[in-house]
Amino acid sequence: MGPTKLIASTRRKPKKRVRLAKSRARPLTVAPQLEPGAPSDLDLMRGIQAEDPDALSQLYDRYNGILKALILRVIHNEAEADDLLQEIFMEIWNQAKNFSAQKGKPLGWMVTLARRRAIDGLRKKQAYARAEERLKNETEQQPDAWVHNATEEEIVLSDTRALIRKVIAGLPPPQQQAIDLAFFKGMSQREIAAKTNTPLGTVKTRLELGLKKIYDALKELRDEL
């Protein structure tokens, strides 16, 4: 199997940059832009902490697509992804009291939670082999499907996303593959080394270099915004 691609094509370039106003001393974050007057993610989390179902409803509308994409990337099964998405938002409702704004942004917290649940789900079902088979089939049938089918409009509207995609797509494929297997498949360095038939030290270097490049790019992006 060829390297699984972490992300995106550089074929389509954003037509223009959408600049956001500068703000002081914000933590490193890459959350999408909101409509003027819309409650912030933090407002919604506080609403959920106060047991306001409407806040959860709004948070769901805002992020179900992102979280489902993440779950699908891990488990490669549409129906299971929908079920898991529901469970994850239920967990967000139940665990909201454990969220602390000092420790990070709501989206980061939700993504961490969703990723953990998705990888747990994958392991519990002992579905590695099936998922790999599906992934292999999907890759063979539709190479780069999820990479290339975003429309020009979507990319232009989502400047932050496009920049992140560009950064990740700019990594050497072995670094993308190592990060993909670690982040989306929950593999350890040893598992990646075994799967890719690569020395452990090389896997470690690939992960470190790739993650540093992405982190540095996020920092730059943060400074620009």
Partner 1 sequence: MNFSEFQNRSRLYVIGALEPEELEEFEKARKKFGKKAEEFITKCYALHEAFALSLRPAKASAAIKDRLMAMVRGKKEA
Q: How far apart are the first and last CA of the chain?
A: 39
User: Which secondary structure element, helix H or strand E, spans residue 85, and what is its range?
Assistant: helix 78-95
Among 4, 9, 49, 64, binds partner 1 (CB under 8 A): 64
Question: Does 176 interact with partner 1 (rule: CB under 8 A)?
Answer: no
- For the record, the structure tokens of 43 come out as 């407002």
- For the record, the structure tokens of 218 come out as 């996020």
Within 10 A of 37 (CB to CB), how many other CB atoms are there? Answer: 5
CA distance 61 to 212: 32
- Name the minimum Å distance from CB 81 to partner 1: 7
> Which stretch, 10-18, 125-133, 135-143, 207-215, contacts partner 1 (CB under 8 A)?
207-215
Q: Using an 8 Å Cβ cutoff, are 44 and 106 in contact?
A: yes
- Name the minimum Å distance from CB 17 to partner 1: 16
**Using CB under 8 A as the criterion, which residues of the chain lie in contact with partner 1 when the complex forms?**
6-8, 27-32, 51, 53, 56-57, 60-61, 64-70, 72-73, 81-82, 85-86, 89-90, 93, 103-105, 107-108, 111-112, 114-115, 146, 149-150, 154, 160-161, 164-165, 168, 179, 182-184, 186-190, 204, 207-208, 211-212, 214-215, 218, 222
